[in-house]
């Protein structure tokens, strides 16, 4: 059994971790173990020292107030995160942190929460919240299932591509049919649920990218995904 280590950094779990987003960390830990690696999970909260050795970075959603709390710290580590993204480190940012990886989130009360601009996106809070189960079609990942709950509506700039197009639900906004954003190996998305238990193809994308970058090769041995497949079948039947 390999003793190769993969380190996952979870950004701001204290303030940015709602609607089950911690499940994304659990899925990465378990799948890495199943593939024979030694996973390490580090929580990063405001004021913590940013670790030097990081292979996968994840972050979750939060209330506008939680976003306000972590914003200054996020801005202080923004250039490190950008360097890591440009070095092709895989990242998954959900909802509140997806928004703040963009240029800014202008809340429905007209407060501007500046983001780090790693993703070329802008978000505007609206009075209507977009809430419910959501299904996407993604070229690379196929069908994706999740749950969205946000007031922010996000618009993509030229330097990002969408994660997928919406089959059921709202996604980034009510004006176009896109959901999420991608830049290099960074994925931003509104999909809670959590996302990875029902969409293991994205977990494997993050894992494979990290492992190949660090160790040169990855063997995607067959693992038992029957529970994930059951979760997908159930999600597919859920109403909006
Ligand atoms: N506070 C943000 C919004 O309402 C993000 C919400 C979330 O992370 N679910 O748009």
Q: Is 100 exposed, middle or buried (0-12, 13-18, 19+ CB in 10 A)?
A: buried
pTM of the prediction?
0.97
DSSP class of residue 19 equals T
Do residues 75 and 67 lie in contact, with contact meaning Cβ atoms separated by under 8 Å? no
Q: Which residue of the set 8, 25, 93, 95 is catalytic?
A: 95
Instruction: List the residue whose alpha carbon is closest to atom 6 of ligand 1.
Output: 150
Ligand 1 atom closest to residue 97's alpha carbon, by position in its atom list: 8
Average pLDDT over residues 212-233: 91
The proportion of the chain whose per-residue pLDDT surpasses 90, expressed as a percent, equals 94
210 alpha carbon – ligand 1 mean position (Å)? 28
Query: What angle do helix axes 200-215 and 22-34 make, rounded to 10 degrees?
Result: 60
Per-residue pLDDT reduced to its tens digit, 120-153 = 999 999 999 999 999 999 999 999 999 999 999 9
Say what the pLDDT of residue 170 is.
98
Instruction: Answer yes or no: 150 catalytic.
Output: no
Average pLDDT over residues 30-51: 96
Do residues 9 and 57 lie in contact, with contact meaning Cβ atoms separated by under 8 Å? yes
Instruction: Answer yes or no: 95 catalytic.
Output: yes
Terminal Cα-to-Cα distance of the chain (whole angstroms): 44
Spatial separation of the C-alpha atoms in residues 72 and 77, rounded to whole Å: 9
Q: Does residue 177's CB lie within 6 angstroms of at least one atom of ligand 1?
A: no
Say what the pLDDT of residue 121 is.
98
Q: Is the dihedral of CA 143, 10, 42, 210 positive or negative?
A: positive
Domains present along the chain, CATH in parentheses: 5-237 (3.40.50.880)
């Amino acid at each position: 059994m390999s003793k190769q280590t993969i380190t996952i950094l979870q950004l701001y779990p204290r303030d940015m971790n709602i609607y089950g987003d911690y499940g994304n960390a659990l899925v990465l830990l378990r799948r890495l173990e199943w593939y024979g690696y030694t996973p390490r999970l580090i929580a990063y909260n405001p004021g913590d020292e940013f670790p030097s050795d990081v292979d996968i970075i994840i972050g979750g959603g939060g209330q506008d107030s939680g976003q306000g709390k972590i914003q200054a710290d996020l801005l202080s580590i923004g250039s490190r995160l950008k360097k890591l993204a440009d070095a092709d480190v895989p990242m998954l940012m959900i909802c509140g942190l997806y928004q703040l990886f963009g240029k800014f989130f202008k809340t429905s009360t007209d407060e501007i929460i500046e983001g780090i601009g790693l993703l070329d996106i802008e978000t505007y809070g609206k009075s209507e919240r977009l809430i419910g189960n959501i299904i996407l079609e993604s070229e690379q990942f196929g069908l994706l299932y999740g749950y969205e709950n946000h007031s922010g509506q996000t618009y993509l700039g030229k330097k990002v591509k969408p994660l997928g197009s919406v089959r059921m639900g709202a996604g980034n906004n009510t004006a176009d049919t896109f959901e999420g954003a991608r830049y290099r190996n960074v994925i931003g998305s509104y999909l809670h649920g959590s996302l990875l238990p029902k969409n293991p193809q994205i977990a494997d994308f993050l894992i494979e990218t990290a492992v190949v970058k660090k160790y040169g090769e990855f063997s995607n041995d067959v693992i038992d995904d029957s529970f994930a497949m059951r979760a997908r079948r159930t999600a597919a039947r859920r109403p909006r």
